[in-house]
Amino acid sequence: MDYIRKMVVCLICFAAMATVICIRVSADPSAENIVTNAKAAILIDSQSGRVLYSKNPERKLPMASTTKIMSAVLTLESGEIDRKFTVDPEAIKVEGSSMGLLEGDVVSKRILCYGMLLPSGNDAANAAACSVSGSVEDFVNLMNKKAAELGLSGTHFVTPSGLDDYTDDHYSTASDMAKLTAYALKNSDFREICSTKSISLDLGGRSLWLNNTNKMLSSCEGVIGVKTGFTDKAGRCLVTACERGGVSLICVTLGDSTDWIDHEKLFEYGFSKLESVTIGGDVYGIPFAGGPNHAKLRAPEISVSLEKGESARIEKRVILPQFVYENERGESVGKVIYYLDGGVIGIVDLIAE
């Protein structure tokens, strides 16, 4: 009984993303060939947050330009992303990688996000920070506030670009970067931009061609982003997302000299473990108040990612009132909660047809 109780607790933690559980890859024959040089790494199911592989997932490390995931998210969430304005001439005076902004260029927040996520422009990150918050310092405060809201307890930002050679207070964890990426990919604009291989942009009088530094967009089946990073202090950092057969995975490596190879191996491992399973679609009957007729309640279908064989253990709990009123047609009047070994894996509304 103690063993069963421990297993249930672990599964509940998976559902809530409250705990990171390390799976020792060496214990699984299908993962014997996975060896990573990363200082920290993690592979998760982006839908549930389920951890499939991890190495030092909570170790605080510099994350270089993967920082720009947060900068781009905040820029896109600030609104009016297609309004044109002239870049701040001081903001674009920055070292390191650049999208090639010049004084007098006319841009939009969307354009600056392309500049951040494709060529990893530090000039784009600073220009975006000033456009959103008025200054780099105020934008960094916004970054740390958002990190706290998302529960990224192992993360602290000092710069919107990730150019952090002058400080040791700019850091994150592989686990936090995976959570941030799962959140970012829910934004359709972010998703479109980070998956773009190349683009030509109009900067108000001149055009600029940008190429994405993430070569996995072309070399690995199903990759949809997300961000590369490198500094001498951080080493090579990489965050990628990949989708195959209805399963969506996120991989993060920090300080990894063989990051491209490691991400491909981890994705192959992850997709060998998970499959997309469709649940729901059931129809329930419930009486109308004060009459003999019944309403039909339909549970919409949803897809969940499970290890092969787990679908046979799915259980559900139906929550319904005793009756519905005529004017509730088309409204949600109940719920179905789906469980796997005691952990919640999905919740859907029951709609009165």
| Structure-token pair, residue 244 | 């195959």
For this structure, is 276 an active site residue? Answer: no
For this structure, is 108 an active site residue? Answer: no
Catalytic residue, candidates 39, 68, 146, 273: 68
For this structure, is 218 an active site residue? Answer: no
Q: Can you give the three-state secondary structure of 129-177, one letter per residue?
A: HHHHHCCHHHHHHHHHHHHHHCCCCCCECCCCCCCCCCCCCCEECHHHH
Name which of 149, 159, 203 is nearest 180 in CA terms: 149
Catalytic residue, candidates 46, 65, 133, 305: 65
Catalytic residue, candidates 120, 133, 161, 305: 120
Question: CA 71 to CA 125: how far, in whole Å?
Answer: 7
Q: Which residues are catalytic?
A: 65, 68, 120
